[in-house]
Amino acid sequence: MTRQPIVGGNWKMNTTRASGAELARAVAQFASGSPGCQVVVFPPFPYLLTIADALKGSKVMLGAQDVSDRADGAFTGEVSCAMLKDCGVSWALTGHSERRHVIGETDALVNAKTRAALGAGLSVILCIGEKLDQREGGQTDFVNETQLRAGLAGVEPASLANVVIAYEPVWAIGTGKTASPADAQGAHAHIRKVLGSMYGSDHAAKMRIQYGGSVNAANAKELFGQPDIDGGLIGGASLKPADFGQIIGAASV
Ligand code: PEP
Is 96 annotated in the active site? yes
pLDDT category, 16, cuts 50, 70, 90? Answer: very high
pLDDT category, 200, cuts 50, 70, 90? Answer: very high
Q: Is the pLDDT of residue 253 over 90?
A: no
Catalytic site residue from 130, 168, 188, 190: 168
User: Average pLDDT, whole number, for the chain?
Assistant: 97
63: CA distance to ligand 1 center in Å?
15
Q: If you count them, how many residues does the chain have?
A: 253
The average pLDDT across 94-108 equals 97
Residue 183 pLDDT? 97
In order of start, what are the domains of the chain with their CATH numbers?
A: 6-252 (3.20.20.70)
Residue 198 pLDDT? 98
Phi-psi region of 213 (alpha: psi -120 to 50; beta: other; left: phi over 0): left
Q: What is the pLDDT of residues 237-249, one digit of tens each?
A: 999 999 999 999 9
> Among the atoms of ligand 1, which is closest to the Cα of residue 234?
8
Q: CA 101, CA 170: separation in Å to the nearest integer?
A: 9
* DSSP conformation class of 102: I
* Longest CA–CA separation in the chain, Å: 48
| 27 φ, ψ (degrees, to nearest 5) | -65, -40
207: CA distance to ligand 1 center in Å?
21
Is 130 annotated in the active site? no
